[in-house]
């Protein structure tokens, strides 16, 4: 059962080949068998999952079920889920039981899907390797001595090991696409505002965006159909009609204009990855696309810009977690100042503290203009680069990550080296554009991802371009031997 696509699972459920309860129990058994090795889940919601599966089976029997009714999924532990711990991978929220559901969770529950549990993640989504979690590092199913990427590494490992048929993730600087690349998955970051952020615990409010993590583009389109849409509770949500993302998957690519940014193919990129990306380009040319070199001249500004903007916003967002209303509280505080200092000191990990300090400094009197304001000006330059590029091309193509999955512990003592893992993904978040990573081959048994970037609200086009590539290649069908 765990090797079927969402469409195949849906057909089997509607035809009565197996029940949602049987399917859910199958995945719960796989989680029980493999999670201790991978550390992909923080919380497994067995009781809730089986309750939802029973309800889904009633809908299936009554012929009132939707396309995804009865299909299990895993949520990144950044989405509030009523009655279930929502920890954000942090000691600060280890005891937080959410009293409400995030809009994404509400919409997925309304579709009749089944929540298997909450996946591990870098603490408050701050990291590129899933090693900053309070609950320990997640292991990559392709090589358990390597990282799965981050911050959505738990969802990525869950999908790569087939512990769930589909999962949610969030992407602030590449946190869906980079782990998708390292784990041989399809990961989509939609346009900023396409999916509600209500109930998604904030890291950097102007950058965070939820999206699906799937085995292929067709599955990603099916989940995006349920996740997308306007939400009046989220002031950053865009009031815009949601198309059927599955309807145009098979459209012809004849005449599609693909741009290759010369800044993405530099000395930072592993030559073997560059060769695989060029092989993918030839496949697209065979499908009728035309390819040209383009320039995104301010790409080099993306990492310094991001690491001013994102820490500044996280400094503001995490100020509410002080041990007073919710979150970790230190034992026997002497006074209010001691409560704040020790609760935050004990509750936050090293990477979160580092970013809070950087962000607070950048926002402080005398430095705001020099750092935060300047970073926002650079952000506009980066956005303008994409605007100009899309006057000449329909889609931008390049690598997702500069390397394959690195070994656990390799970069934990070198934060700057870790930050460079997102060099090809960060600019998309700064501009608010949609991007997708799809499997493009292997190097020494480790997956390589291909990134496609589209213009605003052109997720359907990205999914179409990804799907047509996946129809003529089989990289996305391959899975780690141990977890088949």
Same domain flag for 208 and 82? yes
Same domain flag for 230 and 318? no
Domain of residue 38, residue span: 6-255+393-483
Which strands sit side by side in the sheet containing 446-454, from one edge to the other? 41-44, 114-119, 72-76, 167-171, 209-214, 186-189, 435-443, 446-454, 395-399, 257-261, 290-294
**Is residue 1 domain-resident?**
no
Same domain flag for 79 and 163? yes
Q: What is the pLDDT of residue 268?
A: 82
**Is residue 294 domain-resident?**
no
* Rounded distance between C-alpha atoms, residue 317 and residue 272, angstroms: 40
Same domain flag for 177 and 304? no
Same domain flag for 169 and 312? no
Give the residue from 351, 378, 405 where a domain finishes. Answer: 378
Same domain flag for 322 and 211? no
Same domain flag for 159 and 47? yes
Q: What is the pLDDT of residue 51?
A: 98
Same domain flag for 237 and 93? yes
Q: Hey, is 407 helix, strand or coil?
A: strand
Same domain flag for 372 and 401? no
Q: What is the pLDDT of residue 443?
A: 98
- The alpha-carbon radius of gyration of the chain (Å, integer) is 21
CATH of residue 115: 3.90.1300.10
Q: What is the pLDDT of residue 414?
A: 86
CA dihedral sign of residues 274, 160, 85, 436: positive
Q: How far is CA 252 from the centre of its chain?
A: 28
Burial class (CB in 10 A: 0-12, 13-18, 19+), 316: middle
Q: Catalytic residue numbers?
A: 76, 151, 175
* Rounded distance between C-alpha atoms, residue 156 and residue 148, angstroms: 7
Give the residue from 378, 408, 435 where a domain finishes. Answer: 378
The structure tokens listed for 162 are 């087939």
Q: What is the pLDDT of residue 24?
A: 98
Closest CA to 45 of 123, 121, 144, 114: 114
Give the residue from 343, 378, 413 where a domain finishes. Answer: 378
- Longest CA pairwise span in the chain (Å): 70
Same domain flag for 78 and 152? yes
Same domain flag for 318 and 224? no
**Is residue 277 domain-resident?**
no
pLDDT in tens, the chain (484 residues): 899 999 999 999 999 999 999 999 999 999 999 999 999 999 999 999 999 999 999 999 999 999 999 999 999 999 999 999 999 999 999 999 999 999 999 999 999 999 999 999 999 999 999 999 999 999 999 999 999 999 999 999 999 999 999 999 999 999 999 999 999 999 999 999 999 999 999 999 999 999 999 999 999 999 999 999 999 999 999 999 999 999 999 999 999 999 999 999 988 899 999 999 999 999 999 999 999 999 999 999 999 999 999 999 999 999 999 999 878 999 999 999 999 999 999 999 999 999 999 999 999 988 999 999 999 999 999 999 999 999 999 999 999 999 999 999 999 888 888 888 899 999 999 999 999 999 999 999 999 999 999 999 999 999 999 999 999 999 999 999 999 8
Q: Residue 293 forms beta bridges with which residues?
A: 260
The structure tokens listed for 165 are 């048929």
Residue labelled with tokens 């195949």: 8
* Rounded distance between C-alpha atoms, residue 310 and residue 331, angstroms: 31
Strand duo 257-261 + 290-294: pairing: parallel
In which element (H, E) is residue 176 found? none
**Is residue 265 domain-resident?**
no
The structure tokens listed for 111 are 């579709």
**Is residue 276 domain-resident?**
no
Q: What is the pLDDT of residue 266?
A: 86
Secondary structure of 271-334 in HEC code, one letter for each residue: HHHHHHHHHHHHHHHHCCCEEEEECCCCHHHHHHHHHHHHHHHHHHHHHHCCCCCCCCCCCCCC
Angle, alpha carbons 111-460-203 (nearest 5°): 70
**Is residue 84 domain-resident?**
yes
Q: How far is CA 334 from CA 319, 320, 330, 337, 338, in A?
A: 20, 20, 10, 8, 6
Q: How many domains, in total, are found in the chain?
A: 2
Closest CA to 44 of 52, 35, 53: 35
Closest CA to 70 of 81, 80, 60, 82: 60
**Is residue 146 domain-resident?**
yes
The structure tokens listed for 382 are 């980066």
Burial class (CB in 10 A: 0-12, 13-18, 19+), 360: middle
Print burial letters for 3-29: b (CB count within 10 Å at least 16), e (below 16): ebbbeebbebbeeeeebbbebbbebbe
How many CA atoms lie less than 13 Å away from 236 in the CB half-sphere? Answer: 19
Q: What is the pLDDT of residue 412?
A: 85
Same domain flag for 79 and 153? yes
**Is residue 20 domain-resident?**
yes
What is the CB neighbour count within 10 angstroms for residue 338?
Answer: 12
Tell me whether the omega of the peptide bond preceding residue 151 falls within 30 degrees of 0, making it cis. Answer: yes
Helices (H) and strands (E) in the chain, counts: 15, 11
Q: What is the pLDDT of residue 417?
A: 83
What is the CB neighbour count within 10 angstroms for residue 227?
Answer: 22
What is the CB neighbour count within 10 angstroms for residue 208?
Answer: 24
Residue labelled with tokens 């693909």: 258
* Rounded distance between C-alpha atoms, residue 229 and residue 195, angstroms: 6
């Amino acid at each position: 059962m765990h090797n079927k696509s969402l469409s195949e699972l849906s057909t089997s459920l509607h035809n009565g080949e197996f029940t949602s309860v049987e399917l859910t129990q199958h995945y719960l058994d796989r989680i029980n068998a493999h999670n201790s090795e991978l550390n992909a889940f923080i919380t497994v919601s067995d009781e809730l999952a089986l309750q939802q599966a029973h309800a889904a089976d009633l809908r299936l029997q009554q012929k009132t079920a939707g396309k995804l009714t009865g299909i299990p999924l895993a949520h990144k532990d950044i989405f509030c889920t009523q009655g279930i711990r929502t920890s954000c991978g942090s000691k600060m929220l280890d005891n937080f039981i959410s009293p409400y559901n995030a809009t994404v969770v509400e919409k997925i529950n309304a579709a009749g899907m089944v929540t298997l549990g909450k996946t591990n993640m870098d603490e408050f989504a701050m990291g590129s390797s899933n090693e900053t979690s309070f609950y320990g590092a997640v292991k990559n199913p392709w090589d358990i001595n390597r990282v799965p990427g981050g911050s959505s590494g738990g969802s990525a490992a869950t999908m790569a090991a087939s512990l769930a048929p589909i999962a949610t993730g969030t992407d602030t600087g590449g946190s869906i696409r980079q782990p998708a690349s390292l784990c041989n998955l399809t990961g989509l970051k939609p346009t900023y505002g396409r999916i509600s952020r209500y109930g998604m615990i904030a890291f950097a409010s102007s950058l965070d965006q939820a999206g699906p993590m799937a085995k292929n583009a067709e599955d990603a389109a099916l989940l995006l159909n349920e996740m997308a849409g306007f939400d009046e509770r989220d002031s950053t949500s865009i009031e815009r009609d949601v198309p059927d993302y599955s309807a145009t998957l098979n459209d012809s690519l004849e005449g599609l204009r693909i741009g290759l940014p010369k800044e993405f193919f530099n000395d930072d990129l592993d030559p073997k990855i560059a060769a695989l990306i060029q092989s993918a380009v030839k496949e697209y040319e065979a499908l009728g696309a035309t390819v040209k070199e383009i320039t995104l001249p301010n790409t080099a500004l993306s990492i310094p810009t991001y690491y001013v903007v994102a820490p500044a916003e996280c400094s503001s967002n995490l100020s509410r977690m002080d041990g007073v209303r919710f979150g970790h509280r230190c034992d026997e505080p002497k006074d209010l100042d001691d409560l704040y200092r020790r609760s935050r000191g004990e509750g936050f990990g090293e990477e979160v503290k580092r970013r809070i300090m950087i962000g607070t400094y950048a926002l402080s009197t005398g430095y705001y203009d020099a750092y935060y304001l300047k970073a926002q000006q650079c952000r506009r330059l980066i956005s303008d680069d994409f605007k100009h590029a899309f006057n000449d091309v329909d889609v931008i193509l390049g690598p997702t990550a500069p390397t394959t999955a690195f070994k656990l512990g390799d970069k934990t003592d070198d934060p700057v080296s870790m930050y460079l893992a997102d060099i090809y993904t960060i600019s998309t978040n700064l501009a608010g554009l949609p991007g997708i990573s799809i499997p493009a081959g292997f190097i020494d048994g480790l997956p390589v991802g291909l990134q496609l970037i589209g213009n605003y609200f052109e997720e359907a086009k990205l999914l179409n371009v990804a799907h047509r590539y996946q129809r003529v290649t089989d990289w996305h069908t391959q899975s780690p031997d141990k977890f088949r």
